[in-house]
Structure 1
Amino acid sequence: MTDIPSPPGRPARAPERRDGMLSADLCIIGAGSGGLSVAAGAVQMGASVVLIEKHLMGGDCLNTGCVPSKALLAAAHAADAVRHSGRFGVNGHEPAVDFAAVHRHVHGVIAAIAPHDSVERFEGLGVTVIQAAARFTGPDEVEAGGERIRARRFVVATGSAAAAPPVPGLAEVPFLTNETVFGLTERPEHLIVLGGGPIGIEMAQAFRRLGAAVTVIERATILPKDEPEAVDIIRATLRRDGVVLHEGAEVAAVRRAANGVEVSFAIGGIPQDVAATHLLVAAGRKPNLGGMGLDAAGIEATPRGITVDARLRTTNRRVFAIGDVAGGPQFTHIAGYHAGIVIRNALFGLPAKVDYAALPWVTYSDPELAHVGLTEADARAAGHAVSVLLQPLAGNDRAQAERATEGLIKVVLGKGARILGATIVAPRAGEMIGLWGLAIQRRLKIGAIAASLAPYPTMSEISKRAAGGFYTPTLFGPRTRRLVGMIQRFLP
């Protein structure tokens, strides 16, 4: 998805047809969030643009990723609010979930956003859209839908797809991925989720709160990239919701069982079996590289994605790769960030480079887990002189008022109290983490946050409170008390 508005000015410059082929300044392969952002930005800046998409405009984010998953999570949150409203003196009860109506809600949200990413909108912007598969036929030429396109610069933005782990028997059983799970019109009786990363955890909690039995099987620990203290809170919440977690599990086989599937695994060498009606595989993603003729264009790639430098250029300097296919962090907002890097390089010749020092991510569980920058472990591994600020959410008045006190903020500081990273577990933590991302980007010290003014009562006060905690030992220590006593003797 792109959040770039439509241009108010003159019509864009269209690609020219020369010697039977289209000639453009920029040719973009893939109309997901990254490709759309490049196309919208470039055409408004005066470039002629060809955009090629073989499947759905909006890509994974709109159709099978961010948008439908957050719509499903919203339905699950509504169900859980009914279930636990008794704590506020409101009649709480087990909600009646109409899963077909939930399905309609999810796809209604997709339909509401789709026009923003549509062929019609982008053609209205002045982009030439070709709905076909693209294939490089040379270092500066692509073929798609019977058209040959030559461009000054190319952008590969084909994204990624769910990966199926090499588990014996998996290929012989029906299983869901993020590309198919939102097509369900009936609630699963029992859902096994294979994988405890953000997608697996979000879907596990959502389906459980909508009434399905849910089992998560993870070979390591859930959410392994996040701070352990934060993960502990999410783990406890999932278990309280009734999600069964099996961590440290080595999956041995998957097979059909009755009207569903059965997964065999071992924890600590002890074998176990779990049977369920449905299986969701959320065990990683793979870049979409097939059929593009990368060799013909001199573009190198590995199983992780297309090889790029810090400017997102491939081994063919005419070609850039962005988003998931570039083998870096796999987030929609990273694809949008990459789009800005490419526009500066491709249109203006500026040597803009990626910088992930303030990379944020959010797991949209309840409570949300949001992080930016370095974790404590990463900071120590990088050799920083680390100090940590930890503040529980229970000390926040707004959290108390909303009976949502399970959470925390953890801030990682380096030399001179410079902010290196932050993690927040709280309702809407994703809305609060941006302050810390800006602080890291601007290389601010903790005093900048401590001196800020936060409205009361808000969850975001936890950031100021954590920052103020850095000064507590000094501010309220014996030295300060002696100083205040001495000053008071001289004041009139």
Structure 2
Amino acid sequence: MPERIETDLCVIGAGSGGLSVAAGAVQMGARVVLVEGGKMGGDCLNYGCVPSKSLIAASRHAHAMTTGAPFGVAPVVPEVDYAAAKDHVADVIAGIAPHDSQERFEGLGVRVIRAWGRFTSDRELEAGDALIRARRFVIATGSAPLVPPIPGVETVPVETNETIFELRERPEHLLVIGGGPIGMELAQAHLRLGSRVTVLEGDRALGRDDPDLSAIVLDRLRAEGVEIHEGATAAEIRGAAGAIEVVTREGDVHAGTHLLMAVGRKPNIGALNLDAAGIAHDRRGVTVDDGLRSSNRRVYAIGDVAGGLQFTHVAGYHAGIVVRSALFGLPSRAATAHLPWVTYTDPELAQVGLTEAEARARHGAALEVVGADYAENDRARAERLTRGRVKVMVVKGRPVGASIAGAQAGELIQIWALAIANGLKMKAVADMVAPYPTLGEVNKRAASAYFSPKLFDNAWVKRIVRLVQRF
């Protein structure tokens, strides 16, 4: 007979969003059961953000050894130990893992069941030898890499972000299908660690971002040696391990030793038996309203599986929405306008709110676009990081979007995320006093650019100044 468990909240999935919900809820007095059939910490810790940024850090050190000439430091060819770089990745994961561990959450008072969950009714979930009946459920099962049915794909070894970090021997020539953030980050990292890299993208590389700013990133990657082919749709894959060929729809053939698939992700919902619980879903994931509730009002979905933006920090944001709603019964709605994202190439590419194209389509003539170049920033000059730009979309004095390409773009985008989240005006950023010399001054310069024409090209301002000077 299965063990029957009665609880207030059952969280399915121990990734970033699920862990946040479980930790918050149990510490506020709720009875919580956490169900996870895979690794604690989910994709972000084990296959995504943490390992990829760790590998990028290793590759940055290798690259720095080749680029010191402008600073008077003789470049040298680095001796890269690819296996040791992967040891670094594993060490970082191991250092973070205790925070996400079963032991920690059990210490908080969460009942952790290490099994895959499957709904048996609108209020019950089966997991291993347990049958869980809960007042509320939170589906936080995340997503998995998509491997499309390209003819021949089953005949060769295919790496995804879930397997590539396990490689111990450096790929001689890495073929990457997909020119989005995952593909471009891992392409540059492997190039800097000594691999030859070819990226095939069926549309435009980094296509979700502002094309003017993504061009800055792509130009840099091409200059370093990454071969990027846009408008190149993979039509056939052939060969064998160590000798793989990708044939494009246009008839071009690209040969390499390893193949990385980075064309997107699919929601982890196949094993949940959602229909038994009356939970509507489609290929994007669980269908939710703006309060993240599914068609079964007892069930919420957060993070990647909710069908929206697929980022760890979005899952964490969703967790807060659900905790307020499920535990306190407070109306709480998820928004997207203030959610930033970053591609961690070098230079970085960051976005919050609307891109210029989106803002023009929505606001028309009311839109003003201002910006500032890194080349105008003294710290960027000192660091020789002058290739970059901040672009801000403004409507009636308030930013509605910001795009940044350049060094530390992920850090610099945060002030615009703060401004948009709190409805601040451009004056709030312009009035900020930034320490000199910092890259952060480029944000202040962009904000000041909004006011400059109004001050310096305004005939009434000049008349007032001349009048005052008479006294």
2:267 is the alignment partner of 1:284 = no
User: Secondary structure of the residue that 2:233 maps to in structure 1?
Assistant: strand
* Whole-Å separation in 1 of the counterparts to 2:149 and 2:8: 42
Equivalent residue runs for 1:127-142 within 5 Å: 127-142=110-125
Give the counterpart letter for 1:138 in structure 2: S
Match of 2:222 in 1: 239
Q: Cα distance, 1:259 vs. partner?
A: 2.9
Of residues 372, 384, 404 in structure 2, which corresponds to 1:391? 372
2:61 is the alignment partner of 1:81 = no
* Whole-Å separation in 2 of the counterparts to 1:310 and 1:259: 47
User: Secondary structure of the residue that 2:333 maps to in structure 1?
Assistant: coil
2:441 is the alignment partner of 1:472 = no
Q: Cα distance, 1:475 vs. partner?
A: 1.8
The 10-residue stretch of structure 1 (117-126 or 159-168) with the greater mean CA deviation from structure 2: 159-168
Q: Cα distance, 1:143 vs. partner?
A: 1.1
CA contact (8 A) 1:257 1:275 kept: no
Cα distance per residue 1:153-176 (max 9 Å; x no partner): 001111000001231111221110
Cα distance per residue 1:172-223 (max 9 Å; x no partner): 2111000001001111000011000000010011001111000000011111
Cα pair distance change 1:236/1:121, threshold 3 Å = same
Give the counterpart letter for 1:306 in structure 2: V
**Count of matched residue pairs:** 468
Q: Could you tell me the TM-score, scaled by structure 2's length? A: 0.97
Q: Cα distance, 1:76 vs. partner?
A: 0.7
Of residues 301, 318, 321 in structure 1, which corresponds to 2:281? 301
* Whole-Å separation in 1 of the counterparts to 2:325 and 2:452: 46
Q: Cα distance, 1:397 vs. partner?
A: 0.4
Match of 1:323 in 2: 303
Equivalent residue runs for 1:318-357 within 5 Å: 318-357=298-337
* Whole-Å separation in 2 of the counterparts to 1:445 and 1:131: 48
Of residues 133, 145, 158 in structure 2, which corresponds to 1:175? 158
User: Secondary structure of the residue that 1:361 maps to in structure 2?
Assistant: strand
Cα pair distance change 1:365/1:20, threshold 3 Å = closer
Match of 2:404 in 1: 424
* Whole-Å separation in 1 of the counterparts to 2:223 and 2:372: 23
Match of 1:191 in 2: 174
Deviating runs (4+, > 3 A) in structure 1?
none
The 10-residue stretch of structure 1 (253-262 or 343-352) with the greater mean CA deviation from structure 2: 253-262
Q: Cα distance, 1:258 vs. partner?
A: 7.5
* Whole-Å separation in 2 of the counterparts to 1:470 and 1:304: 39
* Whole-Å separation in 2 of the counterparts to 1:382 and 1:473: 24
2:46 is the alignment partner of 1:28 = no
Of residues 70, 93, 96 in structure 2, which corresponds to 1:113? 96
Match of 1:5 in 2: none
* Whole-Å separation in 2 of the counterparts to 1:231 and 1:430: 14
Flag structure 2 segments of 5+ consecutive residues without an equivalent.
none
CA contact (8 A) 2:349 2:409 kept: yes
CA contact (8 A) 2:40 2:100 kept: yes
CA contact (8 A) 2:177 2:234 kept: no
Flag structure 1 segments of 5+ consecutive residues without an equivalent.
1-18
Q: Could you tell me the TM-score, scaled by structure 1's length? A: 0.93
2:182 is the alignment partner of 1:225 = no
Match of 1:15 in 2: none
Match of 1:146 in 2: 129
Match of 1:448 in 2: 428
Q: Cα distance, 1:435 vs. partner?
A: 0.8
Q: Cα distance, 1:421 vs. partner?
A: 0.4
Q: Cα distance, 1:362 vs. partner?
A: 0.2
Q: Cα distance, 1:20 vs. partner?
A: 4.9
Q: Cα distance, 1:469 vs. partner?
A: 0.9
* Whole-Å separation in 1 of the counterparts to 2:3 and 2:232: 58
The alignment's C-alpha RMSD in Å is: 1.2
